[in-house]
Chain A
Amino acid sequence: MTGIITTRGTAGTPATTATGGAASSGGVAAVGTIETATTAGTAGARARRLRLDPRTKLFLLLEANLLLFCHVDTRTEALLTGFFLLLLFLSGRIRAGVRFALIYAVLLALSLIEPPTHGTGAWLAIFPMLAVGIRMLLPCLITGAFAFTTTTPGEFTAALRRMRIPEAVIIPCIVVIRFFPTLREDYRHIRNAMALRGIPSGGRSLLRHPAQSLEYIIVPLLMNATTVAQDLSVAALTKGLGNPGRHTSMTDIRIGLLDWAVMALCALPLILFLAGSL
């Protein structure tokens, strides 16, 4: 049983990131991984690692989305993806970096293959097409993973506060970060409870009785979420969340020379491409 659940959990993380990145809002999806980042960060010694300002990371995320939006050529894209991967490596996310690099390399190779355009093998063209499509999303995923796995929630809120984002936006962001692990935990409990009651809860039953299965999962999930929401509001209010005055952040963040250099370096190829294509 645990085996199944574990497999699901592991498969879930990259999948959510993929959908979020495609919608050019890597933020929403990558939030799910933010706490894994912080735990990994605390586990290892974070001695000589690249530390960028969260705003720089957001800038990179935006740029990756621009790459997709502007349809840059393969060369520029590969170059920038290389930069992004380098940042990922420098900030200590070696495993993720290797994984992304491998996927990117395979997709790049696949998309460079010239398939036969007619005859019996013409349907093979679908693979390079798919490869190109997924490959173009990868820069968003890489920067998304970089931004949200190397930033603590504290840094993130500090950045938002520094950018003069209203508290009405910041607070929901904190709540989302807080809620993701809770939801995952709740989901696990509900699946267990369903197993004990003999209610089929696997993927197959979801396909056969989608409405029924969703109801069994979502109703308890929501019921629980409402009580958690009320408890959280109470906890937050008694800690002065509703204070009308200025809210500060414990974490100091600063855009340093390194941040400017990284931003300039990553912006340059895109600017050159845009200048050339105009």
Chain B
Amino acid sequence: MSNAPDSRNGTGRIIIDAQHIGFRYRTGPSAETETTGRAATAASPATGTLANASSGASANVPAALDDVTLTVRNGEFVVLCGQSGCGKTTFTRLLNGLTPAFHTGDLTGSCTVYGLRSGQAAIEEYAAVVGSVFQNPKTQYFNALVADELAFPCENAGWEPSAIRERVREVAESFGIAHLLDRSIFQLSGGQKQRIAVAAACMLRPRLLVLDEPTSNLDRQAMADLNAMLSHIKASNVTIVVAEHRLAWCADLADRYVLFESGHIMLDCPSDRFRSMPEHQREQWGLRALDLSASHAAVRQRVTAAPQPRNGITAAATTIGPQLRPDATSPVIATRGLTVGYRDARPFGRLRRPNPGHERFSRTIPDLSLYAGRIVGLMGHNGVGKTTLVRTLVGLAKPLAGNVLRHGETASSAELTRHGFLVMQDVNYQLFADSVRGELLLSTPYRNEFDAPEDILQTADRILADLDLAGLADRHPMSLSGGQKQRTAIASALMCDKELIVLDEPTSGLDLCHMRQVGALLRDLADRGKAVLVVTHDEELAAEWCDTVVLL
């Protein structure tokens, strides 16, 4: 085993002991996907058909875990990997007591964590020894202020106020987040929020830290920060279990990899053996790359825009490969001397003297051009202005300076909104109708299926078929999986014949297979003559599918 340091600490004690675990959610098949926002519904071509559990008689509620036996020793760093819906999230829930107490279901076998037996110990008992970090940075803090959030576990445990203050200071200092203590969490970036979440999980000095896809919304830098935090925690001999698709960020910390597939453990091996496996083997398992340097290099190669915005210089880089430049066609969207941002929006802001230097955020963007049939990736750190730029390009925000050209002519925000579409990271906001077909018709002047003429209905059905949604036309959009919702939103954009389709982080939290499905969809959109802009932190997506990359 590669975890020699641990045995040197004299702590080789087994602390997680799972024996022949079987688990089946009682609430329905979507239980696994509720928090992760997607489902492994589409048949996974990359993997074999071991999924007999999901195709059997009880197809309604497939077993989330089936005969899982796993022991973890004190101080180990274990990475649980596997495709969406493979059972790794369910396993982490067993470790922090959420299953079967909160996510109810039928549990067989026995799982003991520090002597706490699943199904018998209450979640509160787990809270004292297990710290948990979840996927979505936006919804895992309970208090509005950072300090309150850190204090929260201690307050619940009934610590003395002075002891809590002492501990908050100690933890904040050791993780380098002391400067954030009196900030409102709402204003932090996703990466900062996730650091607060890890810090809060460490407040009660847990012996085990469980992280469920903690990086799915994070950029490269934030992942590096998280890596530093976890190596710090690991050094203090805390056992760490991470369920992840993205393997690269914690590859140096992992002692052991456990591969789940359809509720079974397929592979359980020390990290050096896992690392020595050939890349195509990992791809076959649907895992993301262990080493991102190849993708990183490929992305760098495609970057054509200058990394620093050159203030005032207009004719800067354009983002198109020379071989494909269609001389006749002008770019669908181009920017000239664009500055994006937003003004300080505070109550009664209108009544204050206009102060040109008082924008709360502004950024000058190097000129860029988006052509029909091209996929352009937009990358850069959190908070660099990607979202604001994208909102400006689809007319949801007004530029602070400069202008956006549509087919070579200056376009108003309203015009940009009419011809552009943004697939939001959280597609739930974008679905309004009560059926998938209705969702498409909502984009037409007819609004619903009863008024729409036959040809419109046919167009809608053709688009649905193209996007692999034909069988779902009458389903309620909210009952779909994350990927299906995403495709429904895109279908609605195709229905109103938008020229520019922007996707905001379409692959966050997706495994390799689903990421490639999204990539293929992007290509399909481009082939239909759309200009596609994809905002992403996902270097694998950018390397494989984007024609050019703009780095802000």
Q: Do A and B come from one complex?
A: yes
- Asked if B8 is at the interface (CB within 8 A of a chain A CB), the reply is no
Question: Is the Cβ of A199 less than 8 Å from the Cβ of B432?
Answer: yes
Tell which of A153, A231, A234, A245 touches B143, judged by Cβ atoms closer than 8 Å: A153
Q: For the complex, is A186 an interface residue (Cβ under 8 Å from B)?
A: yes
The 7 sampled A-B contact pairs (Cβ below 8 Å) are: A2-B343, A35-B144, A186-B429, A190-B429, A231-B35, A237-B123, A247-B155
B429 proximity list for chain A (CB < 8 A): 186, 189-190, 192-193, 220, 224
| Known A7-B350, A195-B396, A238-B97; contact A243-B127, beta-carbon cutoff 8 A | yes
Query: When the two chains form their complex, are residues B432 and A235 in contact, meaning their CB atoms are under 8 A apart?
Result: no
Contact B98–A237 (Cβ < 8 Å): yes
Tell me, in angstroms, the Cα distance from A250 to B342 when the chains sit together: 36
Also in contact, A223 and B142, with CB within 8 A (given A153-B148, A154-B148): no
Number of interface residues of A (CB under 8 A): 68
List A contacts of B9 (CB < 8 A).
none
Closest 8 CB pairs between A and B? A240-B127, A231-B139, A250-B151, A240-B156, A238-B132, A193-B430, A235-B140, A239-B153
Q: How far is the CA of A99 from the CA of B351 in the complex (A)?
A: 11
The 8 A CB mask of A172-203 against B (1 = contact, 0 = none) is 00110110011000100110111111110000
Question: Are B432 and A194 in touch, CB under 8 angstroms?
Answer: yes
Shortest CB distance A250–B (Å): 4
CB-based contact B127/A238 at 8 Å: yes
Contacts of B184 in A (CB 8 A): 35, 38-39, 42
Contacts of A241 in B (CB 8 A): 142, 152, 156
Q: How many Å from the CB of B86 to the closest CB on chain A?
A: 20
Q: Which residue of A lies closest to B420 (CB)?
A: A196
For A248, what are the chain B residues with a Cβ–Cβ distance below 8 Å?
A: 154-155, 158-161, 164
Beta-carbon contact of A250 and B164 below 8 Å: yes
Chain A contacts of B37 at CB under 8 A? Answer: 227
| A1 CB–B CB distance under 8 Å | yes
Complex Cα spacing A175 to B260, Å: 36
Contact in complex: B122, A220 (CB < 8 Å): no
Question: Within 8 Å of chain B (Cβ to Cβ): is A230?
Answer: yes
Q: Which residues of A contact B343 (CB under 8 A)?
A: 2, 6
* Interface residue stretch chosen among A9-17, A51-59, A83-91, A120-128: A9-17
B122 proximity list for chain A (CB < 8 A) = 242
Contact A223/B428 with A198-B443, A238-B132, A241-B156 known, Cβ cut-off 8 Å: yes
Contact between A238 and B123 (Cβ–Cβ < 8 Å)?
Answer: yes
Bound-complex Cα distance A219 to B349 (A)? 31
Q: A23 within 8 Å of B by Cβ?
A: no
What's the minimum C-beta distance from A130 to chain B, rounded to whole angstroms?
22
**Alpha-carbon distance A31/B512, docked complex (angstroms):** 44
Q: Mark B466-494, 1 if CB is under 8 A from A, else 0.
A: 00000000000010000000000000110
Per-position binary interface string of chain A over residues 216-238, scored 1 when its CB falls under 8 Å from any chain B CB and 0 otherwise: 10011001100110111111111
Is the pair A235, B420 in contact by a Cβ cutoff of 8 Å?
A: no
Asked whether B531 is an interface residue with its Cβ less than 8 Å from the other chain, the reply is no
A10-B346, A197-B496 are known contacts. Are A246 and B158 too (CB-CB below 8 A)?
Answer: yes
- By a CB distance below 8 angstroms, the chain B residues around A199 are 432, 442
Q: Which of B139, B147, B347 contacts A10 (CB 8 A)?
A: B347
A positions within 8 Å CB-CB of B: 1-3, 6-7, 9-10, 13-14, 34-36, 38-39, 42, 95, 99, 152-154, 174-175, 177-178, 181-182, 186, 189-190, 192-199, 215-216, 219-220, 223-224, 227-228, 230-252
Q: Which residues in A have their C-beta under 8 angstroms from that of B156?
A: 239-241, 243, 247
B398 to chain A, nearest CB (A): 6
B183 in contact (CB, < 8 A): yes
Residue ID in chain A nearest B159 by CB atoms: A248
B212 to chain A, nearest CB (A): 10
Query: Is B249 among interface residues, defined by CB-CB distance under 8 A?
Result: no
Q: How far is the CA of A89 from the CA of B518 in the complex (A)?
A: 56
Which residues, 413 to 454 on B, are CB-close (under 8 Å) to A?
Answer: 413, 417-418, 420-422, 424, 426, 428-432, 442-443
Report the minimum CB–CB distance from A13 to chain B (whole Å): 5
- Residue pair B145, A152 in contact (C-beta under 8 Å): yes
Residue among B35, B140, B478 making CB contact with A223, cutoff 8 Å: B478
**For B138, B140, B200, B496, which residue has the most chain A Cβ atoms within 10 angstroms?**
B140
Considering the chains assembled together, what is the distance between the CA atoms of A251 and B142 in angstroms?
Answer: 17
Other A-B contacts than A2-B397, A231-B136, 18 sampled, CB-CB below 8 A, are A10-B345, A38-B184, A154-B151, A174-B142, A189-B426, A192-B391, A196-B420, A227-B139, A228-B138, A234-B35, A235-B134, A239-B152, A243-B158, A244-B124, A247-B158, A248-B155, A250-B154, A252-B161
C-alpha gap A153/B426 in the complex (Å): 28
* A251 to B182 Cα, complex, angstroms: 13
Task: Give every chain A residue within 8 A of B34 (Cβ-Cβ).
Answer: 227, 230
* Separation of A38 and B145 alpha carbons in the complex (Å): 8
Q: A220-B431, A238-B98 are in contact. Are A9 and B142 (CB under 8 A)?
A: no
B64 at the interface (CB under 8 A from A): no
Residue of A nearest to B182 (CB): A42
**Contact present for A3 and B398 (CB under 8 Å):** yes
Question: CB distance B342 to A2 under 8 Å?
Answer: yes
Shortest CB distance A24–B (Å): 23
Pick the residue among B144, B154, B347 that contacts A177 (CB under 8 A): B144
Chain B residue at minimal CB-CB distance from A152: B145
B130 within 8 A of A: yes
A148 CB to closest chain B CB (Å) equals 12
Question: B187: CB under 8 A from chain A?
Answer: yes
What are the residues of chain B within 8 A of A14 when measuring CB–CB? 347
Q: How far is the CA of A3 from the CA of B413 in the complex (A)?
A: 12
Judge if B546 is at the interface, Cβ distance under 8 Å.
no
Q: Once bound together, how far apart are the Cα atoms of A231 and B424, in whole Å?
A: 20
Q: Is A233 touching B102 in the complex (CB atoms < 8 A)? A: yes
Instruction: Tell me, rounded to whole Å, the shortest Cβ–Cβ distance linking B122 to chain A.
Output: 7
B413 touching A250, Cβ below 8 Å = no
| B349: nearest chain-A partner, CB-CB | A10
Beta-carbon contacts under 8 Å, B88-143 to A: 96-98, 102, 122-124, 126-128, 130-132, 134, 136, 138-143
Give chain B residues whose Cβ lies under 8 Å from the Cβ of A174: 142-143
Inter-chain CA distance A156–B186, complex, in Å, is 19
Q: Once bound together, how far apart are the Cα atoms of A10 and B144, in whole Å?
A: 21
Q: How long is the Cα–Cα vector from A250 to B154 in the complex, in angstroms? A: 8
